[in-house]
Structure 1
Amino acid sequence: MKITGLMVYYYFVCHKKLWYHLKNLNLENESENVGIGKLLDETTYSKENKHISIDNVINIDFIKRWEILHDIKKSKSIEEAGIWQMKYYIYYLEKKGILIKKGMIDYPLLKQRKEVELSDDDRKIIEQVLVEIEEIGKKEKAPDNINSKICKKCAFYEFCYC
């Protein structure tokens, strides 16, 4: 299984959302929040060479001098997932022999940035996460609901709660 950056992101957001994604149930295209995020991505950092896809596994918003990865996020509401997604990007490129100094998560609406680096402990966690993502994909039944405040804005809300 090719494990994408989006899968790692979903792993840290909600295992059920990840399971839906792994089963090819995708409702994100109709989500207003996703649409706002895409618009933000299209209208910011216009001078950068954007949307760099590597092996159809990771999609980097833009890279500075092949040293610093950048990912554009709308808000910090699910910041931990974004941090781990960035760590996975660095990890993945490292496995391909491309050494990246660090990642930056850019929040243009907040005019803020979050610097992200990859430690040895992070590498071990990512390797475990990759195993767990594969295990979630093998499950016949979706994982339990997480009952979080983020659920109400999720494209899968009706699947989980109605």
Structure 2
Amino acid sequence: MSRQIVADQQNENMEWGRYLHENAYARDKKEVAWDSIKMDTLSKRQGELVVAEVKKTSSYLKSAKMQVLFYLYNLKLAGVDAVGELRFPEEKRREEVELDAAAELEIQEAVRNIRYIMAQELPPEPVKIKFCGKCAYQELCWA
């Protein structure tokens, strides 16, 4: 992404994600771009700003949580208080995401690692992991 390489937009998971994004949670404001991030939905609940990310499945829960935590962290740096939520419409469930002190440290470490990789002249050698089979970037790594 730092090199403006775009995922395969015809990937079935990308297409399904777009469908969910367009059709789930109709009452919420959709895809809000702020700074360098795009949040799936924004809403207010009992006076709190709720930043939510809509996912097809909870299979990749850790990465989904990190995404929401990244949004919350950036909003906090800008002086905006918000709470986070993961939404899984196919599973009919939601999960709260809280930016506590431990999560903030984890996000800061992840950002440092990402910046280190971005600064390298060449990307690291690919390592096959469980995410590779459905990844919209797989041809880039394994072609």
Q: TM-score, normalised by structure 1?
A: 0.79
- Structure 1 unaligned spans of 5+: 1-20
The alignment covers a number of residue pairs equal to 140
Determine helix, strand or coil for the equivalent of 1:87.
helix
Superposed CA RMSD:
1.5
Higher helix share: 1
Instruction: Specify whether residues 79 and 35 from structure 1 end up closer, same or farther in structure 2 by C-alpha distance, changes over 3 A only.
Output: same
- Deviation of the 1:47 alpha carbon: 1.9
Which residue type is aligned with residue 8 of structure 2? E
Match of 1:123 in 2: 104
The one-letter code sitting in structure 1 at the alignment partner of 2:38 is: N
**For residues 17-40 of structure 1, what are the alpha-carbon distances to aligned partners after superposition, in whole Å with 9 as ceiling and x for unaligned?**
xxxx22222233232211110011
Percent identity, please: 27
Q: CA deviation at 1:145?
A: 2.2
Alignment of 1:55-70 (within 5 A): 55=35, 57-65=36-44, 66-70=48-52
| 1:28 partnered with 2:8 | yes
Structure 1 segments (4+ residues) deviating >3 Å: none
Per residue, is there more strand in 1 or in 2? 2
Q: Contact 2:56 / 2:88 at 8 angstroms: preserved in 1?
A: yes
> Structure 2: which 5+ runs fail to align?
none
Deviation at 1:144, TM superposition (A): 2.6
The TM-score normalised by the length of structure 2 is 0.88
User: SS in structure 2 opposite 1:42?
Assistant: helix
2:95 and 2:125 map into 1 onto residues whose CA distance is 31
Distance 1:84 1:137 in 2: 18
Q: SS where residue 32 of structure 2 aligns?
A: strand
State the Cα distance separating 1:60 from its structure 2 match.
1.6
- Does 2:68 correspond to 1:86? yes
Is 2:110 the counterpart of 1:110? no
What is residue 147 of structure 1 aligned with on the other side?
Answer: 128
